[in-house]
């Protein structure tokens, strides 16, 4: 909300610099900022009066204006069409800073000779003063402008912009902000004087009840409806000061009637609506729910189709306004209007919010109603507006007001004790201090029969006070949050039971980073287009997906069912500027729908390896990446997590059918490792092989070893033997390994060579193993080792047809 | 018995005198001092001698062993000093052999760092579902349907309808949804820190994302007050942003706390003088907090008459942006490795 400081000054004395006021408001909950200062550069500009106008001797379109400045006279050359003798104007002396009407730049006024006549000064337009873009003529000041006074004193102003939180609709008004300023600076408040006797004060005026009847048939949505009636008004432009304040508040001036309703809304925070009385059929106002399919052309000329849960203001025959949201064109105040029904009502905030949102009609009125305005606000605002309207548009005010108030609730006082304040704030404030803070905001504090408590009633404009904690916040913010001390929690630390998966995630991330992987985080919303790229076939995948009902874009329409799609897209994007080795991973959630329940959100880690291998060094080391590089990462990771895994041929459609393995842990297959299918890579426009691993961490969790057990360090030396075998090419290393490992004394088996080609018969391959023999009980002799080794070779020969080589 | 000992000594010392390389020294060591050396065998054989002889011979054998060991040490030194140093030149300005260096994502680092600060103050990490019931995201937090505070949190709804044609499943808009679950599922005393992704239906620009991270936190116990809230959050600010930062607490509004608090630090760029980063205010908002609203506690089954509580929540991306001077929030999830490798 934007507020003019001058306007604010009408209700509260501003005793501090503007920036300090803004600071105090900000600290107390209303973020405020001085956004504009009017007249900041108005040195050397004073109020003057034109005393004579003479023709320019050398130019037809220019005239010479003689201006009385109080202390003397100046004659200047002026080309404005609206120069009138007797008008008060803003006069700039030489040296003044003015905005050039054409270039828009600030320039210093100099003495000039214009067509032979010296002109030392200037009569200013609004644009030259920086007030508006108006540059057609000079700005004419009201007659009461004090002659000779600096213009900054008379017209200078500053605009405060305030971020009003949703709980404080009362601060969506100048008076509301003035109340805050008064409480925060210790000043008193002066409210506009409303002559209540104006409404129906004159005996001759007719009673309002005889001229309009109001009925509320939906009291749940309208707790109070007040109306006044003014006849014989003259619709015209509203005065300049009012228009300016409306503009500063972001509202467009319309005419004196509508402007008064908006002005009082900005002033009091209570939205009002003016109907053309003569267009109200049946002279009846009915506040009711719309009937289904009922429609109304709103003030903006758009036909609005209403639903049964929207509230309308209707006359005897039809809706004339969408309650609290926008008036209807059929009852709009026009130039011909002579009689006004002025509405000031209290509507249900949720209903107004729903209607405004559904019809997409956010308005100043809507914004205030939906935050909840107290029903008690209706009457003061109505009286003020009625009086202003009568002043500005003339006419006769009918006697009395209509006040239908089915939703009256008595506000119960709240008991507030010093103990409760201390329990929440941690500071022992005296009752006097508490009462003084609350009183400054207009709260009524009555004795509660104890020296340490009071009964507090919130003022009628506050709709956000329901509990003792609400009062405690008021106390705290008036005293100042910065005045409260700071302490550390003194209670014992609660028992900790963190979810094991949290620790696992952290460990996996750190390990993969230690292996040289770069972590990425990608959006968890994705598109069908990207997901379909994961299929090597032309037919799209049909995964069960979780779709959004209102996605922002098609790129973010589905919750991701895997991490690999985004990772491949990430790789492809980085390949545009990088061609070395890229190894990256993401650890995050994937989402699987469940019937009538929240989806299964599973923590998954996915990694990609792509490129030539280790970074090329000047020493020429270069190892290329392959399936086994990816498998090595998985094995290393799982081993460090204490998980025993084996690998079996995998069935993942997105991977190369023969270069992939399912990770088998405890009979389950929580992951996969393999080379991406070339067609999938082609879909992502990635060149070169890419290797992937994926592990479901939730499935992995039960198999991670919580406790590692100590193994004694061997006391007796080991014996190492290398054996090379020639074996059928179709036999897997694992088969050999299982046999060797089955023998006693075998401590470790490492395969260090796989070869086929020259010197090995066709259909065969050579495998070389390094076997470490060790006994926990004694030093092994050659004989012992030879014996086991022979047994191993025998069994390999018998079971797998292996022949020792060389 | 003494005779072979003396003979062994003489031979050993004579041989040692002629050695001038370390390989021969090792052979010598094995021969005269090793487990299978003559000296060791003599020492082992001592047990079979008569007592008197054993004493004399044993003493002498140990003397000789010490003498030989000293001789060996001296020779080793001499040999090493005499050994020629090969004058091989290397260019020490050539780079070392590169190790693959991985990096954690800056947001992961931030989540860990902030989490660790609170863990050290006795808080425990708790997570919750990202796809959430409307209840935990809004109602449980005093934000019923049509509450105006919902307007600032445009919501992404999941395409799921109940039999009554309601659409109660959403992508959580605030980490505070986890707080609502914690209040419901845990018993006091509670101290939790709750990291996670949140979602908003918003257009993306340099300072806004539709998917980002929140960290929320909660403390519930008897006797927790607003000065504890200030102390805890002040400690966080001091440790994350540094000792020299000023911290400001002001009143703010969040439906689930009362009194409500906003914490700001003085601007890291202008130190409070006012600049573009801080919108000329000199202050940068860091988090929202407050004393947990009694209704929120009551709804979760905690008696607000017995327990008091504070809660807080912050946007995570903002923290590394402030610290590293990152001017575009989209960089975090653009996954450009040239950006990510900097952290």
The helix (run of H) or strand (run of E) holding residue B292 is strand B283-292
Q: For residue A497, what are its two tokens?
A: 């039971």
pLDDT given for residue A615 in this prediction: 56
Look at B122 and A502 and tell me if their CB atoms are within 8 Å.
no
**A203 confidence band (pLDDT: 50, 70, 90):** low
Q: What is the mean pLDDT of chain B?
A: 91
pLDDT of B148 > 90? The answer is no
Look at A484 and B230 and tell me if their CB atoms are within 8 Å.
yes
Cα Rg, chain A, nearest whole Å: 42
Strand B124-125 with B190-199, pairing = parallel
Collect all residues with Cβ–Cβ distance below 8 Å to A388 and sequence separation of at least 6: A260, A263, A264
Q: For residue A290, what are its two tokens?
A: 């719309």
What distance in Å separates residue B240's CA from the closest CA in chain A? 17
CA A804 to chain centre: 73
What distance in Å separates residue A548's CA from the closest CA in chain B? 4
pLDDT given for residue A623 in this prediction: 66
Query: What is the 8-class DSSP label of residue A596?
Result: T
Q: Please, are residues A723 and A769 in contact by the beta-carbon 8 Å criterion?
A: yes
Looking at chain A, which residue has its C-alpha nearest residue B145?
A350
Number of structural domains chain B divides into = 2
Q: Do B19 and B117 fall into the same domain?
A: no
Q: Please, are residues A591 and A559 in contact by the beta-carbon 8 Å criterion?
A: yes
Q: For residue A191, what are its two tokens?
A: 């409210």
pLDDT given for residue A173 in this prediction: 96
Collect all residues with Cβ–Cβ distance below 8 Å to A516 and sequence separation of at least 6: A583, B99, B100, B101, B102
Q: Which of A168, A146, A161 is nearest to A372 (CA)?
A: A168
Look at A488 and B231 and tell me if their CB atoms are within 8 Å.
yes
> Cβ of B142 under 8 Å from any chain A Cβ?
no
Q: Do B162 and B40 fall into the same domain?
A: no
* Residue carrying the six token digits 């003569």: A278
Q: Please, are residues A672 and A698 in contact by the beta-carbon 8 Å criterion?
A: no
What distance in Å separates residue B72's CA from the closest CA in chain A? 27
pLDDT given for residue B18 in this prediction: 83
Sign of CA dihedral B19, B22, B24, B25: positive
Find which of A441, A473, A587 to mutate to test the B interface (most B CBs within 10 Å of its CB).
Answer: A473
Looking at chain A, which residue has its C-alpha nearest residue B222?
A491
Q: Please, are residues B122 and B191 in contact by the beta-carbon 8 Å criterion?
A: yes
Q: Please, are residues A433 and A479 in contact by the beta-carbon 8 Å criterion?
A: yes
The alpha helices in A576-696, defined as continuous H runs, are: 627-640, 678-683
Smallest Cβ distance to A552: which of B158, B167, B210? B210
Find which of B91, B97, B100 to mutate to test the A interface (most A CBs within 10 Å of its CB).
Answer: B100
Compute the distance between CA of residue A702 and CA of residue A779 in angstroms, rounded to an integer.
39
> Cβ of B136 under 8 Å from any chain A Cβ?
no
| E strand intervals along A281-373 | 284-289, 295-297, 303-305, 311-314, 319-322, 326-327, 340-347
Q: Do B145 and B291 fall into the same domain?
A: yes
Sign of CA dihedral B166, B171, B176, B177: positive
Compute the distance between CA of residue B241 and CA of residue B233 in angstroms, rounded to an integer.
12
pLDDT given for residue A670 in this prediction: 95
Smallest Cβ distance to B225: which of A424, A523, A614? A424
Q: What is the pLDDT of residues A46-63, one digit of tens each?
A: 999 999 998 888 888 888
pLDDT of A202 > 60? The answer is no
pLDDT of A593 > 80? The answer is yes
Compute the distance between CA of residue A294 and CA of residue A299 in angstroms, rounded to an integer.
16
B89 located within any domain: no
pLDDT given for residue B135 in this prediction: 97
Q: For residue B286, what are its two tokens?
A: 């860091």
pLDDT given for residue B27 in this prediction: 86
> Cβ of B337 under 8 Å from any chain A Cβ?
yes
pLDDT of B67 > 90? The answer is no
Q: Among A379-383, A798-802, B17-21, which is the least confidently predicted range?
A: B17-21
Collect all residues with Cβ–Cβ distance below 8 Å to B76 and sequence separation of at least 6: B22, B25
B229 located within any domain: yes
Compute the distance between CA of residue B41 and CA of residue A531 in angstroms, rounded to an integer.
79
Q: Please, are residues A760 and A766 in contact by the beta-carbon 8 Å criterion?
A: yes
Q: What is the pLDDT of residues A1-22, one digit of tens each?
A: 999 999 999 999 998 999 999 9
Smallest Cβ distance to A424: which of B157, B188, B291? B291
B14 located within any domain: yes
Query: Can you give the residue range of the structural domain that contains B64?
Result: 2-82
Q: What is the pLDDT of residues A598-650, one digit of tens each?
A: 999 999 999 999 986 555 666 665 567 899 999 999 999 999 999 999 999 99
Look at B97 and A619 and tell me if their CB atoms are within 8 Å.
yes
Give the percent of chain A with pLDDT over 70.
96
The helix (run of H) or strand (run of E) holding residue B182 is helix B176-185
Q: In chain A, what residues touch B126 (CB-CB under 8 Å)?
A: 498-499
Q: What is the mean pLDDT of chain A?
A: 92
* Residue carrying the six token digits 């540059």: A135
Collect all residues with Cβ–Cβ distance below 8 Å to A739 and sequence separation of at least 6: A792, A795, A796, A799, A800
pLDDT given for residue A772 in this prediction: 95
Compute the distance between CA of residue A665 and CA of residue A669 in angstroms, rounded to an integer.
6
Q: In chain B, what residues touch A596 (CB-CB under 8 Å)?
A: 162
**B171 confidence band (pLDDT: 50, 70, 90):** very high
Smallest Cβ distance to A601: which of B107, B130, B156? B130
Beta bridge partners of A45: A92
Q: In chain A, what residues touch B253 (CB-CB under 8 Å)?
A: 29, 165-168
Looking at chain A, which residue has its C-alpha nearest residue B281?
A33
Q: How many other C-beta atoms are found inside a 10 Å radius of the C-beta of residue B324?
A: 11
Compute the distance between CA of residue B219 and CA of residue B196 in angstroms, rounded to an integer.
18
Q: What is the pLDDT of residues A309-349, one digit of tens each?
A: 999 999 999 999 999 999 999 999 999 999 999 999 999 99
Q: For residue A148, what are its two tokens?
A: 């000779």
Q: Do B112 and B194 fall into the same domain?
A: yes
| CATH architecture of the domain formed by A414-483 | 2-Layer Sandwich (3.30)
Q: For residue A345, what are its two tokens?
A: 């009502």
Q: Do B72 and B122 fall into the same domain?
A: no
Beta bridge partners of B314: B215
pLDDT of B101 > 90? The answer is no
Strand A295-297 with A518-519, pairing = unpaired
Q: Do B115 and B77 fall into the same domain?
A: no
- Whole-angstrom CA distances from A576 to A555, A686, A698 are 21, 10, 35
Find which of A170, A350, A368, A518 to mutate to test the B interface (most B CBs within 10 Å of its CB).
Answer: A518
Residue window 60-79, chain B: list those with CB within 8 Å of chain A.
Answer: none
Which CATH code is given to the segment(s) A45-155?
2.40.50.140
Find which of A424, A490, A545 to mutate to test the B interface (most B CBs within 10 Å of its CB).
Answer: A424
pLDDT given for residue A114 in this prediction: 87
Look at A424 and B253 and tell me if their CB atoms are within 8 Å.
no
Compute the distance between CA of residue A110 and CA of residue B67 in angstroms, rounded to an integer.
110
Residue window 81-110, chain B: list those with CB within 8 Å of chain A.
Answer: 94-95, 97-105, 107-108
Mean pLDDT of A701-727: 88
Smallest Cβ distance to A521: which of B95, B107, B156? B107
Find which of B101, B335, B342 to mutate to test the A interface (most A CBs within 10 Å of its CB).
Answer: B335
Count contacts between A and B (CB, < 8 Å): 256
Compute the distance between CA of residue A362 and CA of residue A359 in angstroms, rounded to an integer.
8
Q: Do B198 and B49 fall into the same domain?
A: no
Q: What is the pLDDT of residues B197-251, one digit of tens each?
A: 999 999 999 989 999 999 999 999 999 999 999 999 999 999 999 999 999 999 9
What distance in Å separates residue A509's CA from the closest CA in chain B? 7
Strand A213-216 with A284-289, pairing = parallel
pLDDT given for residue B40 in this prediction: 80
Looking at chain B, which residue has its C-alpha nearest residue A368?
B148
pLDDT of A535 > 80? The answer is yes
Q: Please, are residues B329 and B212 in contact by the beta-carbon 8 Å criterion?
A: yes
Compute the distance between CA of residue A75 and CA of residue A66 in angstroms, rounded to an integer.
4
Compute the distance between CA of residue A650 and CA of residue A660 in angstroms, rounded to an integer.
5
> What is the strand order of the sheet A157-163 is part of?
A2-4, A157-163, A31-38
pLDDT of B319 > 60? The answer is yes
Pick the CATH number of A719-804 from 1.10.10.10, 3.90.226.10, 3.40.50.450, 3.30.70.380: 3.30.70.380
pLDDT of B1 > 70? The answer is no
Compute the distance between CA of residue A686 and CA of residue A663 in angstroms, rounded to an integer.
26
- The domain made up of A500-703 has a fold known as BirA Bifunctional Protein; domain 2 (3.30.930)
Same fold, A2-39+158-185 and A414-483: yes
Helix axis angle for A733-741 and A782-800, nearest 10°, is 140
Q: What is the pLDDT of residues B189-208, one digit of tens each?
A: 999 999 999 999 999 999 89
Q: How many other C-beta atoms are found inside a 10 Å radius of the C-beta of residue A220?
A: 12
Q: Residue ranges per domain, chain A?
A: 2-39+158-185, 45-155, 196-404, 414-483, 500-703, 719-804
Q: For residue B305, what are its two tokens?
A: 């008459």
pLDDT of A96 > 60? The answer is yes
What distance in Å separates residue B46's CA from the closest CA in chain A? 26
B269 located within any domain: yes
pLDDT given for residue B7 in this prediction: 85
- Whole-angstrom CA distances from A342 to A251, A258, B104 are 19, 10, 65
| CATH code assigned at B300 | 3.30.930.10
Q: What is the pLDDT of residues A403-444, one digit of tens each?
A: 999 999 888 999 999 999 999 999 999 999 999 999 999 999
Compute the distance between CA of residue A629 and CA of residue A674 in angstroms, rounded to an integer.
10
B87 located within any domain: no
Q: Please, are residues A289 and A311 in contact by the beta-carbon 8 Å criterion?
A: yes
pLDDT given for residue A340 in this prediction: 96
Compute the distance between CA of residue A48 and CA of residue A59 in angstroms, rounded to an integer.
24
| E strand intervals along B124-199 | 124-125, 131-133, 169-171, 190-199
- Whole-angstrom CA distances from A458 to A376, A413, A444 are 12, 8, 6
**A706 confidence band (pLDDT: 50, 70, 90):** low
Q: Which of B104, B103, B109 is nearest to B320 (CA)?
A: B109
Which CATH code is given to the segment(s) A2-39+158-185?
3.30.56.10
Q: In chain B, what residues touch A350 (CB-CB under 8 Å)?
A: 144-147
Collect all residues with Cβ–Cβ distance below 8 Å to A60 and sequence separation of at least 6: none
The better pLDDT of the pair A185, B63 is held by A185
Q: Please, are residues A405 and A375 in contact by the beta-carbon 8 Å criterion?
A: yes
CATH 3.50.40.10 for domain A196-404, yes or no, is: yes
**A198 confidence band (pLDDT: 50, 70, 90):** low
Burial class (CB in 10 A: 0-12, 13-18, 19+), A587: buried
Looking at chain A, which residue has its C-alpha nearest residue B227?
A486
DSSP state letters, A437-459 = HHHHTT-EEEE-SSTTEEEEE--
pLDDT given for residue A542 in this prediction: 60
pLDDT given for residue A805 in this prediction: 82
Smallest Cβ distance to B133: which of A467, A514, A598? A598
Look at A547 and B159 and tell me if their CB atoms are within 8 Å.
yes
Q: What is the pLDDT of residues A500-515, one digit of tens each?
A: 999 999 999 999 999 9
Looking at chain B, which residue has its C-alpha nearest residue A348?
B146
Q: Please, are residues B200 and A556 in contact by the beta-carbon 8 Å criterion?
A: no
pLDDT of A525 > 60? The answer is yes
């Amino acid at each position: 909300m934007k507020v003019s400081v001058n306007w604010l000054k009408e209700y509260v004395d501003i005793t501090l610099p503007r920036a300090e006021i803004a600071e105090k408001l900000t600290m107390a909950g209303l973020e405020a900022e001085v956004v504009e200062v009017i007249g900041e550069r108005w040195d050397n500009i004073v109020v003057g009066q034109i005393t004579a106008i003479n023709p320019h001797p050398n130019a037809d379109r220019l005239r010479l204006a003689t201006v009385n400045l109080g202390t003397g006279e100046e004659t200047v050359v002026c080309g404005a069409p609206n120069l009138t003798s007797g008008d008060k104007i803003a006069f700039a002396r030489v040296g003044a800073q003015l905005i050039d009407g054409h270039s828009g730049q600030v320039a210093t006024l100099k003495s000039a000779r214009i067509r032979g006549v010296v002109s030392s000064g200037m009569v200013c337009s609004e644009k030259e003063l920086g007030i508006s873009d108006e540059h057609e003529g000079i700005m004419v000041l009201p007659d009461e402008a004090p002659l000779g006074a600096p213009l900054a004193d008379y017209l200078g102003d500053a605009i405060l912009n305030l971020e009003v939180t949703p709980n404080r609709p009362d601060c969506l008004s100048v008076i509301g902000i003035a109340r805050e300023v008064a409480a925060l600076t210790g000043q008193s408040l002066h409210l506009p004087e409303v002559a209540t006797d104006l409404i129906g004060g004159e005996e001759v005026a007719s009673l309002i009840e005889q001229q309009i009847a109001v009925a509320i048939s939906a009291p749940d949505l309208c707790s109070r409806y007040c109306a006044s009636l003014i006849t014989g008004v003259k619709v015209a432009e509203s005065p300049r000061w009012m228009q300016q304040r409306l503009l500063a508040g972001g509202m467009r001036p319309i005419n004196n009637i509508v402007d008064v309703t908006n002005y009082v809304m900005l002033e009091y925070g209570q939205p009002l609506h003016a109907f053309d009385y003569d267009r109200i059929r049946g002279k009846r106002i009915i506040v009711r729910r719309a009937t289904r399919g009922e429609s109304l052309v709103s003030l903006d000329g758009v036909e609005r189709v209403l639903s049964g849960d929207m509230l309308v203001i209707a006359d005897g025959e039809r809706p004339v306004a969408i309650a609290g949201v926008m008036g209807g064109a059929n009852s709009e105040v026009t130039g011909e209007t002579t009689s006004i029904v002025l509405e000031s009502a209290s509507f249900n905030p949720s209903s107004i919010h729903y209607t405004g949102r559904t019809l997409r009609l956010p308005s100043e009125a809507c914004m205030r109603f939906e935050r909840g305005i107290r029903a008690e606000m209706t009457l003061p605002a109505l009286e003020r507006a009625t009086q202003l309207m009568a002043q500005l548009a003339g006419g006769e005010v009918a006697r009395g007001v209509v006040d239908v108030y089915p939703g009256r609730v008595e506000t119960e006082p709240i008991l507030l004790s010093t103990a409760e304040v201390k329990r929440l704030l941690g500071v022992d404030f005296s009752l006097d201090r508490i009462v003084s803070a609350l009183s400054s905001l207009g709260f009524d504090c009555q004795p509660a029969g104890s020296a340490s408590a009071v009964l507090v009633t919130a003022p009628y404009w506050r709709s956000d006070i329901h509990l003792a904690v609400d009062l405690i916040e008021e106390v705290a913010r008036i005293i100042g949050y910065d005045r409260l001390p700071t302490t550390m929690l003194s209670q014992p630390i609660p028992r900790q039971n963190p979810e094991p998966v949290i620790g696992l995630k952290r460990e996996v991330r750190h390990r993969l980073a230690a292996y040289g992987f770069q972590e990425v985080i990608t959006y968890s919303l994705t598109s069908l287009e990207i997901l379909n790229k994961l299929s090597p076939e032309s037919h799209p995948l049909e995964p069960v997906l979780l779709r959004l009902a209102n996605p922002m874009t098609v790129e973010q329409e589905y919750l991701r069912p895997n991490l690999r799609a985004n990772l491949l897209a990430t790789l492809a994007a980085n390949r545009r500027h990088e061609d070395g080795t890229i190894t990256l991973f993401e650890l995050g959630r994937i989402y699987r729908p469940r019937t009538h329940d929240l989806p299964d959100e599973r923590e998954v880690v996915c990694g990609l390896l792509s490129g030539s291998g280790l970074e090329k060094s000047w020493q020429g080391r270069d190892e290329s990446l392959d399936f086994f590089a990816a498998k090595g990462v998985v094995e290393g990771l799982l081993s460090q997590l204490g998980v025993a895994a084996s690998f079996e041929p995998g069935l993942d459609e997105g991977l190369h059918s023969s270069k992939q393995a399912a990770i088998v842990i405890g009979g389950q297959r929580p992951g996969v490792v393999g080379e991406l299918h070339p067609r999938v890579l082609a879909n992502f426009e990635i060149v070169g092989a890419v290797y992937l691993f994926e592990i479901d961490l939730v499935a992995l969790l039960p198999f991670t070893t919580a406790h590692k057990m100590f193994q004694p360090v061997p006391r007796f030396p080991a014996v190492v033997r290398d054996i090379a075998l020639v074996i059928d090419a179709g036999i897997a290393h694992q088969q050999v390994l299982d046999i060797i490992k089955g023998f006693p004394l075998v401590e470790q088996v490492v395969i260090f060579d796989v070869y086929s080609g020259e010197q090995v018969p066709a259909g065969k391959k050579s495998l070389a193993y390094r076997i470490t023999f060790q006994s926990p009980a004694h030093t092994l002799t050659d004989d012992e080792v030879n014996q086991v080794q022979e047994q191993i070779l025998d069994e390999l020969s018998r079971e797998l047809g292996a022949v020792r080589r060389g | 018995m003494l005779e072979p000992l003396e003979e062994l000594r003489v031979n050993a010392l004579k041989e040692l005198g002629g050695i001038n390389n370390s390989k021969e020294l090792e052979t010598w060591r094995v021969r005269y001092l090793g487990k299978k050396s003559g000296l060791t065998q003599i020492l082992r054989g001592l047990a079979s001698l008569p007592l008197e002889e054993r004493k004399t011979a044993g003493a002498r054998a140990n003397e000789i062993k010490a003498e030989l060991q000293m001789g060996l040490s001296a020779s080793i030194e001499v040999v090493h000093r005499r050994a020629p140093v090969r004058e091989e030149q290397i260019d020490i300005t050539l780079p070392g052999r590169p190790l693959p260096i991985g990096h954690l994502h800056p947001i992961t680092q931030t989540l860990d760092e902030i989490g660790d600060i609170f863990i050290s103050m006795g808080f425990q990490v708790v997570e919750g579902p990202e796809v959430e019931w409307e209840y935990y995201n809004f109602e449980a937090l005093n934000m019923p349907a049509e509450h105006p505070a919902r307007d600032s949190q445009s919501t992404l709804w999941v395409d799921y309808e109940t039999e009554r044609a309601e659409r109660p499943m959403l992508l959580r808009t605030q980490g505070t949804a986890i707080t609502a679950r914690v209040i419901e599922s845990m018993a006091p005393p509670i101290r939790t820190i709750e990291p996670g992704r949140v979602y908003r239906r918003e257009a993306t620009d340099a300072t806004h994302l539709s998917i980002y991270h929140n960290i929320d936190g909660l403390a519930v116990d008897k006797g927790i007050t607003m000065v504890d809230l200030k102390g805890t959050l002040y400690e966080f600010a001091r440790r994350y942003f540094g000792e020299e930062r000023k911290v400001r607490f002001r009143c703010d509004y969040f439906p689930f706390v009362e009194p409500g608090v906003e914490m700001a630090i003085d601007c890291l760029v202008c130190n409070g003088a006012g600049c573009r980063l801080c919108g000329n205010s000199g202050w940068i908002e860091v988090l929202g907090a407050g004393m947990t609203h009694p209704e929120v506690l009551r709804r979760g089954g905690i008696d607000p008459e017995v327990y008091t509580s504070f809660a807080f929540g912050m946007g995570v991306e903002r923290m590394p942006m402030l610290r590293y001077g990152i001017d575009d929030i989209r960089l975090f999830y653009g996954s450009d490795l040239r950006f990510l490798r900097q952290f």
